[in-house]
């Protein structure tokens, strides 16, 4: 009987720790913020743009942004930017594609992209 209670307590403790700490495999989820003219106009209306790793989805991006920047995320939009063919002289190749996340934060909150 005591072993079952001990197992239940350890499961509850491990779940509580996951909420407050960023998992190391998610540390490189955001490659970089997209700082463009269009992204700066979107930032004025509480939309922020990030280039993210292709393995992650909306829910994981929302949790990571809320933990890292201490803001409340209302909406996440994911865009898969396709690779594009490029040519330099006789050499043909592709510019790699990437995944982009557009995140809307709660009104009155901001993300400072220059410091982090």
Say which CATH number the domain at 41 has.
3.30.70.330
DSSP-derived letter for residue 115 is: T
Q: Is residue 12 part of a domain?
A: no
Q: Is residue 47 part of a domain?
A: yes
* 58, pLDDT greater than 70: yes
By DSSP bridging, strand 30-33 and strand 91-95 are unpaired
Q: Is residue 4 part of a domain?
A: no
Q: Is residue 5 part of a domain?
A: no
pLDDT at 75: 96
* 14, pLDDT greater than 60: no
17 band by pLDDT with thresholds 50, 70 and 90: very low
Q: For the residues 13-33, what does the mean pLDDT come to?
A: 65
pLDDT at 25: 65
Q: Residue 100, SS3?
A: strand
Number of structural domains found in the chain: 1
Picking from 77, 96, 82, 98, the residue whose alpha carbon sits closest to that of residue 32 is 98
Sequence-distant (≥ 6) Cβ neighbours of residue 68 within 8 angstroms:
22, 30, 116
pTM of the model: 0.73
pLDDT at 54: 92
Q: For the residues 74-96, what does the mean pLDDT come to?
A: 95
Domain interval for residue 95: 28-116
Q: Is residue 32 part of a domain?
A: yes
Q: Is residue 67 part of a domain?
A: yes
């Amino acid at each position: 009987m005591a072993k079952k209670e001990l197992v239940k307590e350890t499961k509850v403790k491990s779940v509580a720790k996951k909420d407050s700490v960023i998992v190391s495999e998610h540390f490189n989820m955001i490659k970089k913020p997209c700082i463009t003219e269009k992204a700066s106009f979107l930032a004025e209306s509480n939309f922020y743009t990030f280039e993210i790793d292709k393995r992650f989805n909306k829910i994981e991006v929302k949790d990571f942004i809320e933990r890292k920047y201490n803001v409340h995320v209302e909406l996440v939009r994911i865009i898969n930017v396709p690779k594009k063919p490029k040519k330099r002289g006789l050499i043909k190749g592709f510019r790699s594609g990437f995944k982009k996340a557009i995140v809307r934060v709660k009104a009155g909150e901001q993300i400072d992209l220059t410091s982090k």
